[in-house]
Structure 1
């Protein structure tokens, strides 16, 4: 019974209710900020993975072009071209 009267007294006290509301709001903002940070981090990682995949695709295209060009070269010229690409 005393707990009910205590809760009743707290609910009637506007200062305590304002403090509790501020705490609840602060906790809500903290949680929302954490979710926002997590979403930004996920988006950043996805963008990095996409950029890496695009770089690999471009390197594969360049290598394929070089391989096609090297097929028509004599052996010594093909070796020189391969060594040039190996240094990259």
Structure 2
């Protein structure tokens, strides 16, 4: 019973309620900041994956261009071209 009277006295005290509201607000901002950091990290990782995929695609295009060019070469020239690409 005395707990309820203490709680009602604290709820009626504007200073204590303002401090409590500030604490709850601070905790809310902290949690929101953590969520924001997680979203930024996820976006950064997605951008890195996209850049890697684009780089692989460009390398595949270059290899395909070299293969097309090598088809038109005589055997010895094609071997030299293949050796040049193998060194990369």
- For residues 9 and 57 of structure 1, the distance between their equivalents in structure 2, rounded to whole angstroms, comes to 69
TM-score by length of 1: 0.94
Instruction: Name the counterpart of 1:2.
Output: 2
Alpha-carbon distance, 1:29 to partner: 0.2
Alpha-carbon distance, 1:19 to partner: 1.1
- For residues 79 and 17 of structure 1, the distance between their equivalents in structure 2, rounded to whole angstroms, comes to 82
Alpha-carbon distance, 1:81 to partner: 0.8
Q: Which consecutive unaligned segments of at least 5 residues does structure 2 have?
A: none
1:60 maps to 2:60: yes
- For residues 47 and 9 of structure 2, the distance between their equivalents in structure 1, rounded to whole angstroms, comes to 54
Deviating beyond 4 angstroms after TM superposition, the runs of 4 or more aligned structure 1 residues are none
Alpha-carbon distance, 1:75 to partner: 1.6
RMSD, aligned CA: 0.9
- For residues 4 and 13 of structure 1, the distance between their equivalents in structure 2, rounded to whole angstroms, comes to 14
Give SS of 1:73's match: coil
Give SS of 2:73's match: coil
- For residues 52 and 62 of structure 2, the distance between their equivalents in structure 1, rounded to whole angstroms, comes to 15
Aligned length: 88
- For residues 76 and 5 of structure 2, the distance between their equivalents in structure 1, rounded to whole angstroms, comes to 97
- For residues 86 and 52 of structure 2, the distance between their equivalents in structure 1, rounded to whole angstroms, comes to 20
Alpha-carbon distance, 1:77 to partner: 1.1
TM-score by length of 2: 0.94
Alpha-carbon distance, 1:4 to partner: 0.8
